[in-house]
Copies of this chain bind each other. A is one copy, B any other.
Amino acid sequence: MKNEKKEQTIIFKNKPIIIGHYSIVGPKEGKGNLREYFSEISEDDFFGQKTYEKAERVMIERALSGAVKNAGIDFSDVRLFLAGDLLNQIISSSYAARSFDIPYVGVFGACSTMAESLALGACLVDGGHFDTVACATSSHFSTAERQFRSPLELGNQRPPTSQWTVTGSGATILSSKGHGPRITCATFGKVTDFGIADVNNMGAAMAPAAMSTLIAHFRCTKTKPEDYDLIFSGDLGKLGSEILIDLMEKEGYKLGLNYKDCGQIIYKRNQNVLMGGSGCGCSASVLNSIILKRLISGEYKKVLFMATGALLSTLSCQQGDTVPGIAHAIVIEGEKNE
């Protein structure tokens, strides 16, 4: 069962199966385009807690619990929990993991975390190390805003290139047995930095990393954009997506109507989110709602899911550093595509 190794891309021999998923979002996301697809919409963005940070961890706990239930398994069947988030020292994930009696591996890829944890988790299931693993991530508008930018109470005006951090979490259960869409391939990204220093323009900072990973993926797998029903980027937003389309075109790849950005589809146009949604929870909640539901129903057969992350901190910005990006991608194929 030697896996086929093609540079950055792993083609899975055993094709880990997505046996469960769950998405939970806040009130604003619940009023967006994907309302009918989310597993749970909370009308309270505190999720019953006293602080937004504690709210974020509750979202992950509920996402994991929901995904386990959706998979029809017990918590004891989950052998490893891979999770990460945007907060310093990924406290949302680690404190959520405290609530479960499951070995835990913390990961960090900024907003690429959903794809990173799934790519790693798929390797661990494919390699036979763990029968069943859970992957999750989250973000919360109010925790991200005050950690990365300014206290919300200041009411700062948002620059036109800025995006709106999604309040949401998604969890996915991968297993070597069962029924569901399969992860057939994973491409691990390289850190890419084109010198963007504007912390309010994350889309532009992440687009070159997305290009790097997409090109590596297409070359390794000898596929083209049109070979996928849909190609989703995580949270490039409107500007970042346009940059990616331009960059790809210069490299000879035409991203057509089958290319979507999770950050652009999650909110409605009138929701005042400028360039669109962002945050780990953006791609996580979109994957674990409309994307997986449509893969399960057979509406999508083959999806390339690529989440992008901006690997900055407030301190690296303050010290004059530019913003490096990264993107990891997985291919998910519907059960009916076999």
Q: A95-B311, A313-B91, A314-B88 are in contact. Are A190 and B101 (CB under 8 A)?
A: yes
Give 19 CB contacts A-B under 8 Å.
A3-B127, A5-B79, A8-B79, A8-B103, A88-B88, A88-B89, A89-B108, A89-B110, A89-B316, A91-B311, A91-B312, A91-B313, A95-B321, A102-B190, A103-B189, A104-B326, A105-B188, A107-B107, A126-B129
- A1-33 contacts to B, CB under 8 A, are 1-3, 5, 7-8, 10
In the bound complex, CA of A42 to CA of B172 (Å): 45
Report the minimum CB–CB distance from A94 to chain B (whole Å): 4
Inter-subunit contact A116/B127 (CB<8 Å): no
Q: What 1/0 mask marks residues of chain A from 91 to 128 whose CB sits below 8 Å from any chain B CB?
A: 10011011001111111111000001000100110111
Inter-subunit contact B53/A88 (CB<8 Å): no
Can you add 9 more A-B contacts, CB < 8 Å, to A87-B315, A88-B313, A123-B123? A3-B129, A89-B313, A89-B316, A91-B315, A95-B311, A101-B190, A106-B108, A123-B129, A124-B127
Counting every copy of the chain, the complex holds 2
Residues in B neighbouring A87, C-beta threshold 8 A: 313, 315
Contact residues on A (Cβ < 8 Å of other chain), bracket = 35 or more
Report the minimum CB–CB distance from A227 to chain B (whole Å): 22
In the bound complex, CA of A190 to CA of B53 (Å): 22
Report the minimum CB–CB distance from A183 to chain B (whole Å): 13
Inter-subunit contact A130/B319 (CB<8 Å): no
Cβ 8 A contact of A128, one of B105, B127, B131, B316:
B127
Residues in B neighbouring A103, C-beta threshold 8 A: 8, 188-190
Q: Does A181 belong to the interface (CB within 8 Å)?
A: no
Q: Does A34 belong to the interface (CB within 8 Å)?
A: no
Q: Does A193 belong to the interface (CB within 8 Å)?
A: yes
